[in-house]
Amino acid sequence: MDDRIWPSEWLRGVLSLCVLAVIADAGDKGTHGYAIARQLESRGLGTVKGGTLYPILNRLENDGLLTSAWIEGDGGPGRKLFTATKSGHSYLVTRSEEWSMFVTSANNLISSGSNS
Partner 1 sequence: MTTNTEKYTHELVFALRMRDVTGDRIGEILAEVESHIAETGEDPREAFGSAKDYARAVSPGRVRWFTRSIISAGVLAAAASWLFGNSVLSLILGESAFYGIPAWGALLLALSIGAWWCWWIRKMRDYIVDPRSGKRVI
Minimum gap (Å) between residue 51 Cβ and partner 1:
4
Do residues 73 and 79 touch, judged by C-beta distance below 8 A? yes
Residue 64 interacts with partner 1 (CB under 8 A): yes or no: no
Q: Can you tell me whether residue 32 is helix, strand or coil?
A: strand
DSSP state letters, 63-111: TTSEEEEEE--SSSS-EEEEEE-HHHHHHHHHHHHHHHHHHHHHHHHHH
Which residues within the stretch 35-54 sit at the binding site for partner 1 (CB under 8 A)?
37, 49-51, 54
Which range binds partner 1 by CB under 8 A, 11-19, 23-31, 68-76, 86-94?
A: 68-76
Site for partner 1 in 83-112 (CB under 8 A): none
Q: Which residues contact partner 1 (rule: CB under 8 A)?
A: 32-34, 37, 49-51, 54-55, 58, 70, 72-73, 76-80
